[in-house]
Amino acid sequence: MNIPNRISNLALLGLLTGSLWAQQPTGREIMERYKAQDRTQDLSAEQTMTLTNSRGGERERRLTYVTRTDADGNRRMLVRFLAPADVARTGFLSIERSDRDDDRWLYLPALRKTRRIAGSDKTDKFVGSEFTYEDLDSEKLDLHEYTLIGSETVDGVDAWVIEAVATDPERLEETGYSKRELWISKVHYLVIQAKYYDGSGGYVKLFRATDIRQIPNSEKWRAYHMTMEDVRKGNKTTLQVLEYEIDQGIPDRYFSERYLKRGG
Amino acid sequence: MRTTPILLLHLLSGAGPLIAQAQLSGFVEYDNITYLKKGNAAKINSRNQGILQLELRHRASGVAEAFGSVEIRADQADPARNRVFLDEAYISLYIGDADIRVGKQIYAWGRADALNPTDNLTVWDFSDILDTDDEKIGALSARVEYYFGDWMVEGVLVPSFTASVLPGVDSRWWPELPATIPNPAYPRLGGPTLAASYTSAESVLPDEGVESTQYAVRLSGLATGWDFSISWFDGFDDLPAIHTSTVIDSTTATAEIVLQQRYHRRRAIGMDFATTMGRLGVRGEAAYYLTEDWRGVDPAIDDPYLQYTLGLDYTFSDVWPDKDLFVLVEWVQEVQVPNRNTVTGGITDLNHVFRKSLFGKVDLSFGEFTKLTLEGVVNLDSEDWWVRPGFQWSVTDGVQVKAEADLLGGPEDSFFGLFRDNRRLHLRLKYSF
């Protein structure tokens, strides 16, 4: 091999690697594809929620939830408990607002009353689970910086690894996390694993999503089995989705006191 | 005859799917109340009861639903409390923007927590004053709710009158009547008194028929983070006014007093609101009662008055790791309008227990299933009080244990002071299914 040839080959290799690197999407681009895959006008699901404490004690709840996202990205959510009997028919309604505090109501069937309740901190636990309200928020891309930090296979699914850090000052105030690491499936563009780090950088929670299926009559993918584990305390919440339905044209008026107290 | 069984079989086979669609739920409950101070032997001095509550709900389609609830109660300590009682039985129709419900049903108007001045449609079982759990009594009535945008207008018609249940004479909540009364011939205090004897005349209830019809309307709305309503009630006071007639025998220095319970018409203009500011909940409620004695000439009947309540609540998250603290305070006041400087109601008049009162409630939750509770009220004008410390534990899904103590105190001529010997412990085990 003569020198000019070597130079030419090296140049070719350089061009190829440059082109390959250029094909690597950025963290933001991956999250935009994730967001597009995640976005639905409305979604309803029935699921069981199993709360497991560090001693192995279990409590199971069955619930339905219905969400609808408006053009501004604000979400309306109505959650109804179906079991156990002592919480059955209890309902929770929340309406996200851009310009003020979210509206939230709780329907208490024993009192036959709907009660407006104060907003929770984003770091508060949702109905006693290991999920916080922040964990349930839809991903707000403009409030975070996303950096692609690698590629890994989790349970046989090839995934991008993204580091998400809040950049918006208001979000920085309310978040309970210094950073999150998100494993985004390269096939489904779903979060299949996430690690959460507290304000001092300590690893606190692990989220995992498995049993990924395409929702019938749609192009959307969803996980039917999810866990959120507090890795310090050993408590775990498991969500097993029985059924998803999306884009059924659920109107805004469904997310009202009228339907909240009707009890499903 | 073979026709009947075959017909029955046919009917049952048809009914099978319907029964299968119905949801049966309810609870079994055991209650024990032990008073800390032994009372008069003629009184019921404990409670030892079991309750079976059965609820059946059937949704025929998206537009119709039927619900029935029956309570079966057996009290070993007080057989007079044994009962099989229809709590609710109604049919709901959801037609377009209107929801219609007809039958025996319980209403819960008002957004305040401690006291609801606008909640005038439902009567209560006051046989145990401190038993505030599920003691509402359904009213046979028709209700229509019409929704438009963030607004709802509601109309309720109650064709017949039902009175609230009051404590019986053998109850520890039945006030002892004074053995002597001041002699009207000696208007100054300290004069000789008369020995009093009492008889009860038959209660006077509202006339049956159209005259006893009650109705209420309410307009509710939601705007920029505020829930609010205005309401109008035209009906009867569910609690009686006590009318007395006294015959004095000066020679024997005795007075024979005839007591008669009469139920009077009253109307109420009401309003309420609820909002939140961050983690702070703010709610208020008021009703102005237009009583029968508008001119203030009959001392047995309430003069018109305003009752209002204003409350704040706040939840402190993670005060200790995984422990939340909920704090609620609510101010209740009664104001005579116009002010005639007359006293509205006696000290045992349940309409007027809270004239200048501060309610409070604190819950310390240890996760989802265990909490310590503390609630109570202090009446600032009469200086009496009631406090209830408690403990709740959800043993497993559907099974709850509750232990509470009721502590009361105050001067003898105040409501809670009068019943200060009714300090007690209450244990409850409940299984919901």
Top residue of B109, B279, B394 to mutate, by most chain A CBs within 10 Å, is B279
Question: Terminal CA-to-CA distance of chain A, rounded, Å?
Answer: 77
Interchain CB contacts (distance < 8 Å): A and B: 88
- A112·B108 Cβ contact <8 A: yes
- A253·B277 Cβ contact <8 A: no
Rounded CA-CA distance A200/B107 in Å is 51
- Name which residue leads in pLDDT, A33 or B127: A33
CA geometry: angle B143, B144, B145, nearest 5 deg:
125
Rounded CA-CA distance B377/B309 in Å is 13
CA distance A233 to chain B (A): 11
Tell me whether residue A18 is in a domain: no
pLDDT recorded at residue B234: 97
**Residues in B touching A127 (Cβ below 8 Å):** 368
- A119·B276 Cβ contact <8 A: yes
Rounded CA-CA distance A134/A121 in Å is 8
Tell me whether residue A11 is in a domain: no
**Residues in B touching A104 (Cβ below 8 Å):** 276
Answer yes or no: pTM beyond 0.80.
Answer: yes
Task: Look at residues B405, B346, B408 and name the one whose alpha carbon lies nearest to residue B379.
Answer: B408
- B147·A59 Cβ contact <8 A: no
Task: Tell me if B184 sits within 8 A of B192, measured CB to CB.
Answer: no
pLDDT by residue (tens digit) across A126-183?
888 999 988 988 888 999 999 999 999 999 999 999 999 999 888 888 888 999 999 9
Task: Look at residues B428, B432, B373 and name the one whose alpha carbon lies nearest to residue B397.
Answer: B432
pLDDT of A26 above 70: yes
Tell me whether residue A14 is in a domain: no
Domain count, chain A: 1
**Residues in A touching B278 (Cβ below 8 Å):** 101, 118-119
Range of the domain at A254: 27-262
CA distance A119 to chain B (A): 5
Tell me whether residue A139 is in a domain: yes
- B274·A51 Cβ contact <8 A: no
Label residue A250 by pLDDT band (50, 70, 90). Answer: very high
Residue A11, H or E segment: helix A3-23
CA geometry: angle B73, B79, B80, nearest 5 deg:
90
- A85·B432 Cβ contact <8 A: yes
**Residues in A touching B222 (Cβ below 8 Å):** 103, 257
CA distance B199 to chain A (A): 39
Written as six digits, the tokens of A92 are: 């929770």
Residue A106 belongs to domain with CATH number: 2.50.20.10
What phi-psi label fits residue B133: left (phi over 0), alpha (psi between -120 and 50 degrees) or beta? Answer: beta
Q: CB-CB: which of A103, A124, A127 is closest to B225?
A: A103
Tell me whether residue A118 is in a domain: yes
Task: Tell me if B430 sits within 8 A of B399, measured CB to CB.
Answer: yes
Tell me whether residue A128 is in a domain: yes
Label residue B264 by pLDDT band (50, 70, 90). Answer: very high
Strands B139-148 and B254-262: unpaired
Angstrom CA distances, B383 to A68, B310, B319, B336, B354, stand at 52, 20, 32, 20, 11
Task: Look at residues B67, B74, B72 and name the one whose alpha carbon lies nearest to residue B106.
Answer: B67
What phi-psi label fits residue B185: left (phi over 0), alpha (psi between -120 and 50 degrees) or beta? Answer: alpha
Hunting for tokens 């249940």 — which residue is that?
Answer: B165
Task: Tell me if B258 sits within 8 A of B245, measured CB to CB.
Answer: yes
Tell me whether residue A227 is in a domain: yes
CA distance A141 to chain B (A): 24
Residue of chain B whose alpha carbon sits nearest to that of A61: B397
Task: Tell me if B259 sits within 8 A of B198, measured CB to CB.
Answer: yes
Tell me whether residue A223 is in a domain: yes
pLDDT by residue (tens digit) across B159-209?
999 999 998 888 899 888 888 888 877 765 556 788 889 998 999 999 888
